[in-house]
Structure 1
Amino acid sequence: MITASRFFIWLAILGASSAMLVAAGFYLHLRPGLPAVHQLLDTRLQTPLRIYSSDDRLIAEFGEKRRTPVTIDQIPEKQLQAFLAAEDARFYDHFGVDVIGLGRAAVELASTGEIQSGGSTITMQVARNYFLTRDKTFARKFNEILLSFQIEKELDKATILELYLNKIYLGNRAYGLAAASQVYYGKPVPELNLAQMAMLAGLPKAPSAYNPLANPDRAKVRRDWILGRMATLGYITADERDKALSQPLTAQYNATRTEVSADYAAEMARAEMVARYGDSAYSDGFRVTLTVNSDDQAAATNALQRGLEAYDQRHGYRGPAGTTDQVPADEETYRDILEAYPRVEDLYPVLITAISDENNQAAAWSRHLGEGFIPFNTMTWARQFRSTNAMGPEPSKVSDVLSTGDIVYVRRQPAEEQSAETVASDSDIADNETTMDENAAPVIAPVSMALSQVPDVQGALISLEAKSGAIQALSGGYSFGQNKYNRAIQARRQPGSTFKPFIYLHALEQGMTPATIYNDAPIVHQGDEMEPGWRPENASGEFDGPTRLREALYRSRNLVSIRLLQDLGVDDTVAFLDRLKLPTEHLHRDLSLALGSGSMTPMDMARAFAVIANGGYDVQPYLIQTIENSYGDVLYEAPPAILCDRNCDQLRENSPTPIVGFPAIRVAERLADERAVYILHSMLKDVIKRGTGTGARVLERDDLAGKTGTTNEQKDAWFSGFNHEIATTTWVGFDQPATLGFREFGGTAALPIWVDYMREALDGMPASHMKQPRGIVRVRIDPASGDRAAPGQENAISEIFRSNNVPERTAGNGLSGDDDANLPRNLF
Structure 2
Amino acid sequence: MKKNRPVLRFLLLAPLAGLFGLIFGIASVYLYLAPSLPSVESLKNIQLQTPLRIYSHDEKLIAEFGEKRRTPIAFEQVPQQFYNALIAAEDENFYSHPGIDIKGLARAAFELITTGQKRSGGSTITMQVAKNYYLSSEKTFTRKFTEILLAIHIEQEISKKEILELYVNKIYLGKRAYGVEAAAQVYYGKSIDQLSLAQLAMIAGLPQAPSAANPINDPDRARQRRNYVLARMFTEDFITQEEFTKAASEEISAKYHGLSTEIEASYVAEMVRSELAELYPEDLYTKGYRVYTTINSEMQVAAQKAVRVGIHNYDRAHGLREAPEVLTPYILKEQQDVPVRVGASIWKLGESIPSINYELELPPSPDDLNRYTWAKKLQERNAPGDLVWAVITNIDDEALTATAFTADKESIVLNKESYEWARPYVNVNIIGNPIEKPSELFSIGQAVLLEPRGEEIFLAQKPEVQASLVSFNPQDGGLLALVGGYDFSLSKYNRSTQANRQPGSSFKPFVYSSALEAGFTPASIINDAPVVFEDDSLEAIWRPENYSGKFYGPTRLRQALYKSRNLVSIRLLNRTGVGRTIRYISQLGIPRAKLNRDLSLALGSSGMTPFELATGYMVLANGGYKVEPFVIKRIEDSEGNVLFEHEPKQVCPDCKKAIEEYQAKLETRIAENPEALFNQTSEELPLSLEEFSQQFPPIAPKVMDERVNYLMYTMMQDVIKRGTGKRALALGREDLAGKTGTTNDQKDAWFSGFNNKVVANVWVGFDDPQTLGKWAFGSNTALPIWVDFMETALKGMPHSPIQRPEGLVSVRIDPETGNRAYPGQPNAIFETFRAENVPQQMETPPSYVEPNGSDQTGSSQQDSENIAPEQLF
- TM-score by structure 1 length? 0.89
SS of 2:651's equivalent in the other structure is: strand
Which residue among 493, 496, 501 is the counterpart of 2:504? 496
Matched residues in 1 for 2:307 and 2:299: separation?
12
Residue 374 of structure 1 aligns with which residue?
414
Which residue among 741, 749, 760 is the counterpart of 1:728? 760
CA 1:231/1:377 → structure 2, altered by over 3 Å: closer, same or farther? Answer: closer
Deviations 1:491-532 (CA, angstroms, capped at 9, x unpaired): 100010000000111111111111111111111113559631
Larger radius of gyration: 2
SS of 1:749's equivalent in the other structure is: helix
Which residue among 719, 733, 747 is the counterpart of 1:701? 733
Cα shift at 1:827? 11
Residue 207 of structure 1 aligns with which residue?
210
Cα shift at 1:145? 0.9
Amino acid at match of 2:286: S
Matched residues in 2 for 1:621 and 1:815: separation?
58
Which residue among 373, 380, 386 is the counterpart of 1:346? 386
Cα shift at 1:217? 4.1
SS of 1:282's equivalent in the other structure is: coil
Which residue among 83, 86, 89 is the counterpart of 2:86? 83
Residue 178 of structure 1 aligns with which residue?
181
Residue 649 of structure 2 aligns with which residue?
641
Which residue among 462, 471, 477 is the counterpart of 1:454? 462
Cα shift at 1:287? 1.9
Cα shift at 1:339? 7.9
Which residue among 248, 259, 264 is the counterpart of 1:261? 264
Contact 2:589–2:612 (CA<8 Å) still a contact in 1? no
Deviations 1:708-745 (CA, angstroms, capped at 9, x unpaired): 11111111111000000000000111111111111111
Contact 2:589–2:615 (CA<8 Å) still a contact in 1? no
Residue 133 of structure 2 aligns with which residue?
130
SS of 1:550's equivalent in the other structure is: helix
Structure 2 residue runs without a partner (length 5+): 333-369, 664-687, 850-854, 863-870
SS of 1:288's equivalent in the other structure is: strand
Cα shift at 1:303? 0.8
CA 1:823/1:722 → structure 2, altered by over 3 Å: closer, same or farther? Answer: farther
Amino acid at match of 1:389: N
Amino acid at match of 1:159: E
CA 1:247/1:325 → structure 2, altered by over 3 Å: closer, same or farther? Answer: closer
Residue 436 of structure 2 aligns with which residue?
396
Cα shift at 1:688? 0.3
| Between 274-283 and 294-303, the greater mean CA deviation after superposition | 274-283
Q: Aligned pairs, how many?
A: 790
Cα shift at 1:618? 1.2
Matched residues in 2 for 1:325 and 1:136: separation?
51
Matched residues in 2 for 1:474 and 1:564: separation?
34
Which residue among 712, 716, 722 is the counterpart of 1:684? 716
Which residue among 298, 309, 313 is the counterpart of 1:310? 313
Residue 865 of structure 2 aligns with which residue?
none
Matched residues in 1 for 2:193 and 2:379: separation?
37
Residue 291 of structure 1 aligns with which residue?
294
| Pair 1:512-2:512 in alignment | no
CA 1:229/1:393 → structure 2, altered by over 3 Å: closer, same or farther? Answer: closer
Which residue among 740, 749, 774 is the counterpart of 2:772? 740
Residue 551 of structure 1 aligns with which residue?
559
Matched residues in 2 for 1:227 and 1:80: separation?
12
Matched residues in 1 for 2:616 and 2:566: separation?
21
SS of 2:62's equivalent in the other structure is: strand
Contact 2:553–2:861 (CA<8 Å) still a contact in 1? no
RMSD over aligned Cα atoms: 3.1
Q: How does 1:54-93 map to 2 (within 5 A)?
A: 54-93=57-96
Residue 792 of structure 2 aligns with which residue?
760
| Between 356-365 and 57-66, the greater mean CA deviation after superposition | 356-365
Cα shift at 1:59? 2.0
Contact 1:463–1:727 (CA<8 Å) still a contact in 2? yes
| Pair 1:470-2:478 in alignment | yes
Deviations 1:269-296 (CA, angstroms, capped at 9, x unpaired): 2222323222622222222222212211
Deviations 1:18-75 (CA, angstroms, capped at 9, x unpaired): 2222222222222233222223223222222222222222222222222111111222
SS of 1:281's equivalent in the other structure is: coil
CA 1:64/1:137 → structure 2, altered by over 3 Å: closer, same or farther? Answer: same
Q: How does 1:515-664 map to 2 (within 5 A)?
A: 515-528=523-536, 531-643=539-651
Deviations 1:207-235 (CA, angstroms, capped at 9, x unpaired): 24553344444444433443343344344
Residue 189 of structure 1 aligns with which residue?
192
Matched residues in 2 for 1:369 and 1:407: separation?
14
Matched residues in 1 for 2:90 and 2:327: separation?
54
Contact 2:477–2:629 (CA<8 Å) still a contact in 1? yes
Cα shift at 1:370? 5.4
SS of 1:519's equivalent in the other structure is: strand
Contact 1:327–1:404 (CA<8 Å) still a contact in 2? no
Matched residues in 1 for 2:794 and 2:841: separation?
43
CA 1:11/1:652 → structure 2, altered by over 3 Å: closer, same or farther? Answer: farther
- TM-score by structure 2 length? 0.85
Matched residues in 1 for 2:185 and 2:621: separation?
45
Residue 105 of structure 2 aligns with which residue?
102
Matched residues in 1 for 2:452 and 2:516: separation?
52
| Pair 1:778-2:781 in alignment | no
SS of 1:668's equivalent in the other structure is: coil
CA 1:413/1:497 → structure 2, altered by over 3 Å: closer, same or farther? Answer: closer
Residue 141 of structure 1 aligns with which residue?
144
Residue 49 of structure 1 aligns with which residue?
52
| Pair 1:483-2:491 in alignment | yes
Residue 421 of structure 1 aligns with which residue?
none
| Between 195-204 and 116-125, the greater mean CA deviation after superposition | 195-204
Deviations 1:279-321 (CA, angstroms, capped at 9, x unpaired): 6222222222222122111111111111111112112222224
Residue 359 of structure 2 aligns with which residue?
none
SS of 2:422's equivalent in the other structure is: coil
Which residue among 834, 837, 841 is the counterpart of 1:805? 837
Amino acid at match of 1:491: A
Amino acid at match of 1:463: S
Cα shift at 1:346? 2.4
Q: How does 1:400-439 map to 2 (within 5 A)?
A: 400-403=440-443, 406-412=446-452, 414-415=454-455, 417=456
CA 1:604/1:671 → structure 2, altered by over 3 Å: closer, same or farther? Answer: same
Which residue among 357, 360, 366 is the counterpart of 2:397? 357
Matched residues in 2 for 1:285 and 1:656: separation?
37
Matched residues in 2 for 1:529 and 1:589: separation?
12
Matched residues in 1 for 2:329 and 2:228: separation?
47
| Pair 1:673-2:673 in alignment | no
Residue 781 of structure 2 aligns with which residue?
749
SS of 1:773's equivalent in the other structure is: coil
CA 1:208/1:610 → structure 2, altered by over 3 Å: closer, same or farther? Answer: same
Structure 1 residue runs without a partner (length 5+): 418-448, 659-663
Residue 427 of structure 2 aligns with which residue?
387
| Between 588-597 and 350-359, the greater mean CA deviation after superposition | 350-359
Q: How does 1:815-826 map to 2 (within 5 A)?
A: 819=856
CA 1:378/1:791 → structure 2, altered by over 3 Å: closer, same or farther? Answer: same
Cα shift at 1:480? 1.5
Contact 1:320–1:407 (CA<8 Å) still a contact in 2? no
| Between 606-615 and 61-70, the greater mean CA deviation after superposition | 61-70
Cα shift at 1:143? 0.6
CA 1:361/1:473 → structure 2, altered by over 3 Å: closer, same or farther? Answer: same
Amino acid at match of 1:382: A
Matched residues in 1 for 2:415 and 2:546: separation?
44
CA 1:370/1:25 → structure 2, altered by over 3 Å: closer, same or farther? Answer: same
| Between 15-24 and 303-312, the greater mean CA deviation after superposition | 15-24
Cα shift at 1:376? 2.8
Matched residues in 2 for 1:667 and 1:45: separation?
41
CA 1:652/1:312 → structure 2, altered by over 3 Å: closer, same or farther? Answer: farther
Matched residues in 2 for 1:560 and 1:249: separation?
71
Cα shift at 1:386? 1.5
Matched residues in 2 for 1:252 and 1:408: separation?
24
Amino acid at match of 1:531: E
